[in-house]
Amino acid sequence: MEEGKSVTENRMPKPAWLRVKLPIGQEYTKVREIVGEHKLHTICQSGNCPNMGECWGAGTATFMILGNICTRSCGFCNVATGRPEAVDPFEPLRVAKSVKLMSVKHCVITSVDRDDLKDGGAQIWVETIQKIRELSPGTTMETLIPDFQGQWDNLQMLIDARPEIISHNLETVRRLTKEVRIQAKYDRSLEVLARISGAGIPAKSGIMLGLGETEEEVVEAMDDLRRSNVSILTLGQYLQPTKEHLAVQEFVHPDIFARLKEIGLSKGFRYVESGPLVRSSYHAEKHLE
């Protein structure tokens, strides 16, 4: 991994190991119909996830709550930025009904950042978890949450709801945070994760590679995450959604991802999912094992 290139350079051609299968099959069609019928938002679609075909084909999806317009403008993310619509009080029930219809055993929920709301959307988060438990008591949950701007009372609301795993992505190394996550703070994210693990809930985080970081910086980020007692780590290749987003600086070879997985495991992470097409919720059901 190399550094020093401008983030505004033109796109590089993708190597062979980044080829993605087109989404097909009966289960994929079923999930797509449920998502459309119940007017749900999924990060699978909004984030142009390369694993959508595989995950939807297996009958799973990552639900995105609190609308599909984010108050932040991260340089890597394809979710629309702007002024969000009013909170929909019926969204938790719609998500819960869909989870039940899909017979989901392990559900992943994420959200846009809602810095416009006093509670950062925490109440809708809690109601969504409660409704899923009410309609599908056998379903386990992972919640991929924002930082709530460091408003710890709001974070505590979600911790008190006790999902099986709480995830918050560091996204990149310390040096690149201001460029990649414009409104976020590296140390604030570490504090979020420390509070999650301190409450006795497994904490999970993810880092994208290929934005200009060095391998040493990735290892340093691993050490920071372990100091926050993060037990589950995902490492994946950053893919530029549009020409308006940060450019890919490097397509990291699968052998490097394999090496970083071994380094992560040696540092005490209980589970490390590492590969070019890995995303935060990829194989999420395995992280409960």
* Residue 9 confidence (pLDDT) above 50: no
Q: What is the pTM of this model?
A: 0.85
Q: Locate tokens 């409450």: which residue? A: 199
The pLDDT of 62-69, averaged and rounded, is 87
| pLDDT value, residue 13 | 75
Using a 10 angstrom Cβ sphere, with 0-12 exposed, 13-18 middle and 19 or more buried, the burial of residue 126 is middle
* Residue 7 confidence (pLDDT) above 50: no
* Domain residue ranges in the chain: 16-288
Rounded to whole angstroms, how far apart are CA atoms 256 and 11? 21
Helix (H/G/I), strand (E/B), else coil: 48: coil
| pLDDT value, residue 283 | 63
The pLDDT of 265-288, averaged and rounded, is 84
pLDDT above 70 covers a percentage of the chain that reads 79
* Centroid of chain to Cα 26: 26
* Residue 74 confidence (pLDDT) above 60: yes
Confidence of residue 22 (pLDDT cuts 50, 70, 90): low
| pLDDT value, residue 188 | 97
Exposed e or buried b per residue across 78-117, where buried means at least 16 C-beta atoms within 10 angstroms of its C-beta: bbeeeebeebeeebbbbbbbbbebbebebbbbbbbbbbeb
What's the CATH fold of domain 16-288?
TIM Barrel (3.20.20)
How confident is the model over 207-226, as pLDDT tens digits?
Answer: 999 999 999 999 999 999 99
Confidence of residue 4 (pLDDT cuts 50, 70, 90): very low
User: Which residues fall within 8 angstroms of residue 26, CB to CB, at 6 or more apart?
Assistant: none
pLDDT above 90 covers a percentage of the chain that reads 58
How confident is the model over 93-143, as pLDDT tens digits?
Answer: 999 988 888 777 888 899 999 999 999 999 999 999 999 999 999 999 999
| pLDDT value, residue 180 | 92
| pLDDT value, residue 156 | 98
Higher-pLDDT residue of 231, 244: 231
Closest C-alpha among 242, 241, 143 to residue 193: 143
How confident is the model over 252-271, as pLDDT tens digits?
Answer: 999 999 999 999 999 999 99
| pLDDT value, residue 8 | 43
Mean pLDDT, the chain, as a whole number?
85
* Residue 31 confidence (pLDDT) above 80: no
How confident is the model over 159-203, as pLDDT tens digits?
Answer: 999 999 999 999 999 999 999 998 899 999 999 999 999 999 999
* Residue 14 confidence (pLDDT) above 90: no
| pLDDT value, residue 29 | 62
